[in-house]
Chain A
């Protein structure tokens, strides 16, 4: 029995999401193989070969896979599916994009965003924006799942010595074309893998105030900066900073929410954080129900004070 894990990468390095996915795969039991599909991505395959618990790396290096277009990648994974009982990917925008396509090509149902492996065919996953947890069993001939990466520890990046095997399979479905990309630049840690996240909400009132109040605190703590949907919709910050059901799911050691009321949608993205701090001038705000420490104060006073005293 073998498990195929789809590697998350940017053609130069392996993303941490892959390491968490490998951990989840190991819990399903069986040989873990990692598929690296991309263009000019030998370095990624070498990195994947060192991950503890990986026994084989498949490298599909072709221009058709450079931007992970779902149409092409899904055909590749479908072709490789024969030798595997489980196909697993991270529940990132990449994994969410192509995995259901693979499942349908194989005429199989799939399980999204699992947070726990009960056994090889049974998983736990959040539903209703994290307000309920469902235990789902699948009796399909192949198990296709995406993994919520914050729910699994990262597998050690060193310690493995897998062989890298080239896959000669160039699939171009000819249905889609990559036009361009606009990535938000940031020197801070990546939101989904940061140990500390400082988030701001509508109460910040402007993008300048994010720069003036939230960012210095984040820099002091070596934290990533997040935001509520209200702050994103108001144009204060770009939307890849949104934490919530429809944005990113984070589970850092410390989550500081400043000026965020705590709508269900936002809580779904951060309530698995170890320690939650809320700074809000409204003691009735729903965020108080999940906060370990609640400071009732005006964030424009409290955040600079916190920054200066740390």
Chain B
């Protein structure tokens, strides 16, 4: 069976973000961009399923600017077979992304669809769920373990208070949580080979999707700064401050 993995190009998680002075957004010029960490976990899981003989082919899709092909190439270097870049310069909101991914999943006939649980830029945590709804298939969000057995998949999910296991019939959408696996590093020969793997270029219009959203970001501001703290010299001083100054104990 085939797997579809969605990857997003985001600001590298180690970069300290700066809000633009005109409050129109976050300054992304000259900043390092990477695959969203949760998407990387999704790629790794697909590759492991392929190594286990469950999956025959892995298709990686990304929706975004032309530069997003760097992230697709990175996923190809990790073991994915081919890529689809749906190029758009408009801001991609989850509903529109889910509609495009539905188009790809149906065109390719993919049965296992893997996404990260959220992108670390918009922190929405919506796309996988929306995709499952649009396709009318089951969903397993925040996965920490995935077992494919025949035409079913058992997924252990991280929920508030512990873990929950659900069983879905395939096709199904799975979104990855941090503890699902530890992604491998791409080896240099694989990075070279990835350059030769096929990469299709499409546009949202190819899937009949209009990228305009009825959601608009009016402004982006830096969060309220905490006032500078003080250094205490001893445990006694700390207790005194907490009791008499902060009055929290």
Chain A interface (Cβ < 8 Å from any Cβ of B): 67, 69-71, 74, 92-94, 96-105, 107-113, 122, 125-140, 173, 175-184, 192, 196, 221, 229, 232-233, 238-240, 245-246, 248, 253-254, 264-265, 271, 274-277, 283, 288-297, 302, 305-306, 309-310
A67 to B157, CA, bound (A): 13
A127 near B122 with CB under 8 A, answer yes
A101 near B94 with CB under 8 A, answer no
A171 to B5, CA, bound (A): 30
Which one of A129, A184, A310 contacts B123 once the chains associate, using CB atoms below 8 Å?
A129
Q: Measured between C-beta atoms, what is the minimum distance from A184 to chain B in Å? A: 5
Which one of A92, A133, A176 contacts B220 once the chains associate, using CB atoms below 8 Å?
A133
A180 to B163, CA, bound (A): 8
Given known A92-B160, A103-B95, A196-B248, contact A109–B215 (CB-CB < 8 A): yes
Chain A residues positioned under 8 Å from B188 (CB to CB): none
Chain A residues positioned under 8 Å from B213 (CB to CB): 109
B238 near A74 with CB under 8 A, answer no
Given known A139-B214, A181-B165, A271-B226, contact A104–B133 (CB-CB < 8 A): yes
Q: Would you call B129 an interface residue if the criterion is a C-beta within 8 Å of the partner chain's C-beta atoms?
A: yes
A239 near B160 with CB under 8 A, answer no
Chain B interface (Cβ < 8 Å from any Cβ of A): 11, 13, 16-17, 19, 26, 93-95, 98, 117-118, 120-134, 136-142, 144, 154, 157-169, 172, 177-179, 213-223, 226, 229-232, 234-236, 238-239, 241-242, 246, 248-249
B129 near A129 with CB under 8 A, answer no
Q: Can you identify 15 A-B contacts, CB atoms within 8 angstroms? A: A93-B160, A99-B129, A104-B98, A107-B95, A126-B223, A127-B123, A128-B123, A138-B215, A183-B161, A271-B223, A290-B226, A292-B226, A292-B246, A293-B238, A309-B236
Chain A residues positioned under 8 Å from B232 (CB to CB): 293-295
B137 near A132 with CB under 8 A, answer no
Chain B residues positioned under 8 Å from A294 (CB to CB): 229-232
Q: Which DSSP category, helix, strand, loop or mixed, fits chain A's interface? A: mixed
Chain B residues positioned under 8 Å from A233 (CB to CB): 179
Given known A132-B220, A306-B238, contact A100–B129 (CB-CB < 8 A): yes
A103 to B124, CA, bound (A): 13
A126 to B26, CA, bound (A): 12
A140 near B214 with CB under 8 A, answer yes
Given known A183-B162, A276-B229, A302-B235, contact A134–B219 (CB-CB < 8 A): yes
Which one of B160, B222, B226, B242 contacts A133 once the chains associate, using CB atoms below 8 Å?
B222
Which one of B26, B126, B169 contacts A128 once the chains associate, using CB atoms below 8 Å?
B26
Chain B residues positioned under 8 Å from A175 (CB to CB): 136-138, 168-169, 172
B220 near A292 with CB under 8 A, answer no
Chain B residues positioned under 8 Å from A181 (CB to CB): 162-165
- Which residue from chain B places its CB closest to the CB of A286 in the assembled complex? B16
Chain A residues positioned under 8 Å from B241 (CB to CB): 293
- Which residue from chain B places its CB closest to the CB of A139 in the assembled complex? B214
Given known A103-B95, A140-B214, A176-B166, contact A132–B133 (CB-CB < 8 A): no
A137 near B164 with CB under 8 A, answer no
Known A93-B158, A221-B249; 4 more pairs at CB < 8 Å: A104-B131, A109-B95, A180-B164, A306-B239
- Which residue from chain A places its CB closest to the CB of B182 in the assembled complex? A233
Chain A residues positioned under 8 Å from B136 (CB to CB): 175
